[in-house]
Amino acid sequence: MRRLSIFLAPLVLIAALILIWEIACRVLNVPIYLLPPPSAIGAALQANAPALLVSALNTLVMAIEALVAAAVLAIPLALASSLSPIVGRAISPIAVVLQVTPVVAIAPLVVIWAGLDHPERAITALAAIVAFFPIYSGAVTGLRSADPDLERLFDLYGATRRQRLIRLRIPAAAPFALEGIKVAAGLAVIGAVVAEFVAGSGGAQGLAWRILEAGNRLRTAEMFAALFVLGALGAGLNAAFQLGERALLKTWRGR
């Protein structure tokens, strides 16, 4: 009973808010370009479903590509900085600068570099920059997270650096890296959308472009529809990574 109410509570709240929204729009006669009622958004969603789905898929593909690129870059760098403190020292300020610089600010530059004909490359690269830091810092933290007494045990039995890395540090880092990848997945979607806004071109045909386009034409219901799809995409991706993380952690610690 309690579990059911926990499950239902957010749904009930959302339904109530939508109902209030619908009634308010009708009663107050809000202009449709200012705030369309949920029914109009639903209609827009239905009418534009094919285009929205294609755009969502484009955004998703760019975000996933960015995530993979970020992981491929971040994990070896984290390993390198775990093996050599000098490398870690060298990387860390650059990583921090990349992290604290807003992606919007770097975007125009990357768009120029990628060439105006390939906005999708720029978007993927920018999303990868955003996704890099959580994976890198998660992996670095994880590689340092091994139990100090276990480290002592490895000393006691004369473990080589290689053995220590493969048998102790990498397995100990796995949960941290997984968490980093999960956070990075969410950020990659955000990065892909923000970058597409800045690129300001329809070349990539992502969700941000749908929002921009609908906004320029004052089709507010379509904007909401695209926003809705974007929210669903983010939430779905997050849920998928959450499930994946949980399953992997379960095999990692056996429970």
Partner 1 sequence: MPEVVPKPIAALTVVEVDYGGRLALGPFDLALQPGEIVSLVGPSGCGKSTALRLLAGLEAPTRGAVRRTPGRGETAVVFQAPTLMPWASALANAALPLDLAGVSRAEARERAMAALERVGLGAAASLKPAQLSGGMAMRVSLARALVTHPRLLLLDEPFAALDEITRRRLADDVLALWAETKPAIVFVTHNVEEAVYMASRVVVMSPGPGRTAGETVVEDPLPRPERFRTSEAFRLAVEKVSADLDRAMNGGERAA
Q: Cα dihedral sign for 112, 116, 121, 122?
A: positive
Least CB distance to partner 1 at residue 255 (A): 4
Segment lying near partner 1 (by CB under 8 A), choices 70-78, 88-96, 132-140, 169-177: 169-177
Q: Does 252 bind partner 1 (CB under 8 A)?
A: yes
Residue 255 CA to residue 244 CA, distance in Å, equals 15
> Of residues 147, 218, 239, 242, which one binds partner 1 by CB under 8 A?
147
Binding mask 174-213 for partner 1 (x = CB under 8 A): x---------------------------------------
Tokens of 205: 């045909």
Q: Which of 10, 50, 102, 254 is in the footprint of partner 1 by CB under 8 A? A: 254
| Contact call for residue 157 and partner 1 (CB under 8 A) | yes
CB of 252 to partner 1, least distance (A): 5
Residues 227 and 207: their CA atoms lie apart, in Å, by 8
d(CA 241, CA 248): 10
Residue 191 near residue 63 (C-beta atoms within 8 A): yes
Asked if residue 248 binds partner 1 (CB under 8 A), the reply is no
Q: What angle do CA 250, 139, 66 make, to 5 degrees?
A: 95
Closest approach, Cβ 241 to partner 1, in A, equals 20
Q: Is position 7 an interface residue for partner 1 (rule: CB under 8 A)?
A: no
Q: Which is nearer to partner 1, 52 or 168 (CB)?
A: 168
**Torsion over CA: 77, 80, 85, 90 (sign):** negative
> What is the signed CA dihedral for 27, 32, 38, 39, rounded to 10 degrees?
90
159 makes contact with partner 1 (CB under 8 A): yes
Binding residues for partner 1, rule: CB under 8 A, are 147, 149-150, 152-159, 163, 167-168, 171-172, 174, 252-255
